[in-house]
Structure 1
Amino acid sequence: MSTGTDPLASLAVLPGVPEAVAEVRKAVDRLYGHRVMRRRAGEVTSEAALRGARASAALDGADWPLEEIRRRSDFSGDEQARAVGGALRISAEAGQLLGVWRHSPLQVLARLHLLATGDADAATGRPRRADETAAPLFPLEIAAAEGFDRSAKGVELPAAPGADEAAARLDQLARLLAGRAEGAASGTPALVVAAVVHGELLALRPFASHNGVIARAAQRIVLIAEGLDPKAICPAEVGLAELGTAAYRDALAGYLGGTGEGMARWIAHCAEALRLGVRESTAVCEAMQRGMV
């Protein structure tokens, strides 16, 4: 594989990454070949969106049962309800933003943030100012008031870069994605591109809040845009929640460290999460086939 035209291509040949890419591709292909997908693909997509949103909110501390989310129609209450509502809004609209994403990913990120915050908190749906710091990731995991064991939070993550550096790196990421959309660089597998977008947004935390749910939604959009999961039926967020925040933090620390080993660990973590998301949707398909859904 040549690395001359694709700045991400070198990541695709890191130890373990080609195997992870191949395993994910095989798992996704099996799911797309399920007989339920021939006639009920739209229902599978809707269920994946709901389950992905629930899991993404859980990673931000709002761990609600799926049936509670199905039952509720009002998500304007406390902080947890608003977090769930924001994740649901993002998940419902992410697939519709694909056309804009291809030429203006930064515009999509701004839209995702507005969806995450909701009208009542729209003022925070803007890039961080130079005098602001990003909100911590995994917010409830480090909030003693919520009863979390502070000793269990795992690897310490560095602070996000300043707003100016974050803006410059975000612009660079947007140019890279636009180049891929135009065909200038297309050799890197979708899984690797999605993992880099996910990791970079978590590293930069370009907004004052809600960066986690946005990073996970951006990963989903990349997987759709790059053709690995065009129908959005593989909720990687479910896998991330199943693997747990401690493993999430540890893998992200590898990305932030920037070493080949660390990057490979992050990509492998994203791959495993996606495989677990495939397993989740496969179970949904099996339930539909048995007439249980």
Structure 2
Amino acid sequence: MSAPDVAASLRALEQLPGVADAVIAARDACTELRWHNALRRRIPEAAAESRVRGARASAALEGAEVDVYTVRDLMRGAVAWPTDDDPVMHTVRAAVQCTAETEHVRALVGTSPAQALARLHVGAGAPLLPADQVGRPRVGDEDSRELVEVGSAPSAEEAAERLRGLADVVAARTQAPALVVAAIAHAEVATVRPFVRGNAVVARGFERALLQETGLDPTGVVVPEIGHGHEGVAGYAGALAAYAGGTREGVALWLKHCAEAVQRGAVEGLRIADAVLAGRLT
């Protein structure tokens, strides 16, 4: 499909029932956040805290609940990672490293999405997989057993083909609504499951970076992961399963879920900005 055709298809998705209004609400929330007084001079501080809260929420969606103080200390190096073989902390580390890497792949995600995905997976996959499976898509008969609620993962060959299609979606980001592009990119990575493990964590990181690169969240203070977790793991997986079903209604449900996630993430960003302004961020 040509780039204009992909862009036209993405614009058409915005016209699905309820999607346009949800996209507008998310965009307005991001605009309100952008003009917060704290973000005139203290964007790095607020963006760093957004990554802390995003990593914690992303880990929680993987079933690993840790308090925000612990995540903050781990991300800034105030405490060392535990050395024991704790699966919960391995999952937290995957989310922390992947979310931290979004700061560095922001410039790559639009021009080289495959490279951005690989770098995000180095962060997410290193605590979970053997070294030879980190930072690369599945090959041969390698499978992914993640997100079973969505259905069986496609073969490695089909996953590679879908990733090539993802590059076309990302390339259309200047001609289609940024939120729709980011939502479809997120869903494709999460449902195609190109990696053996760490797919949903990478998908959320990729969406975060893409929201920033497209200009919808230029300060990087929105916390979309909190919005994705608003209805818990079941709500998030259910929305992805609806998308994977391929119906108009299912795709619309996912797009509205993502728009609401960004809107809630922008509200969380306002809380962060308020705390920064008041000097209450610890």
> Could you state the TM-score of these two structures normalised by the residue count of structure 1?
0.86
Matched residue, 2:76: none
Per-residue Cα deviation, 1:152-211 (whole angstroms, up to 9, x for no partner)? xxxx4211111111111111211332x33xxxx633211101110011111100000000
Q: Tell me if 1:219 matches 2:221.
A: no
Q: Take 1:61 and 1:76, find their aligned partners in 2: how far apart are those partners? A: 20
Deviates further, 123-132 or 52-61: 123-132
Structure 2: where are the runs of 5+ without partners? 74-78
Kindly indicate whether the alpha-carbon contact (under 8 Å) linking 1:91 and 1:217 is maintained by their aligned counterparts in 2. Answer: yes
- Aligned sequence identity (%): 40
Q: Take 2:217 and 2:83, find their aligned partners in 1: how far apart are those partners? A: 31
Amino acid at match of 1:74: W
Kindly indicate whether the alpha-carbon contact (under 8 Å) linking 2:34 and 2:219 is maintained by their aligned counterparts in 1. Answer: no
The count of aligned residue pairs is 269
Kindly indicate whether the alpha-carbon contact (under 8 Å) linking 1:243 and 1:273 is maintained by their aligned counterparts in 2. Answer: no
Structure 1 75/15 Cα, relative in aligned 2: closer, same or farther at 3 Å?
Answer: farther
Structure 1: where are the runs of 5+ without partners? 139-155
Matched residue, 1:255: 243
Q: Per-residue deviation at 1:132?
A: 2.0
Q: Tell me if 1:135 matches 2:123.
A: no
**Which residue, 87, 90, 99 being the options, matches 2:95?**
87
**Which residue, 37, 45, 60 being the options, matches 1:35?**
37
Task: List 4+ stretches of structure 1 deviating above 6 A.
Answer: none
Amino acid at match of 2:88: Q
Secondary structure of the equivalent of 1:102? coil
Q: Take 1:9 and 1:90, find their aligned partners in 2: how far apart are those partners? A: 30
Amino acid at match of 1:134: S
Kindly indicate whether the alpha-carbon contact (under 8 Å) linking 2:10 and 2:176 is maintained by their aligned counterparts in 1. Answer: yes
Per-residue Cα deviation, 1:127-156 (whole angstroms, up to 9, x for no partner)? 212312212228xxxxxxxxxxxxxxxxx4
Secondary structure of the equivalent of 1:128? coil
Q: Take 1:76 and 1:168, find their aligned partners in 2: how far apart are those partners? A: 38
Matched residue, 1:151: none
Kindly indicate whether the alpha-carbon contact (under 8 Å) linking 1:20 and 1:268 is maintained by their aligned counterparts in 2. Answer: yes
Deviates further, 70-79 or 18-27: 70-79
Q: Take 1:76 and 1:24, find their aligned partners in 2: how far apart are those partners? A: 41
**Which residue, 167, 183, 196 being the options, matches 1:208?**
196
Kindly indicate whether the alpha-carbon contact (under 8 Å) linking 1:109 and 1:214 is maintained by their aligned counterparts in 2. Answer: yes
Amino acid at match of 1:168: E
Q: Take 1:258 and 1:62, find their aligned partners in 2: how far apart are those partners? A: 30
**Structure 1 residues 131-280: aligned runs within 5 Å:** 131-137=141-147, 156-177=149-170, 179-180=171-172, 186-280=174-268
Give the superposed CA RMSD: 1.9
Q: Tell me if 1:104 matches 2:124.
A: no
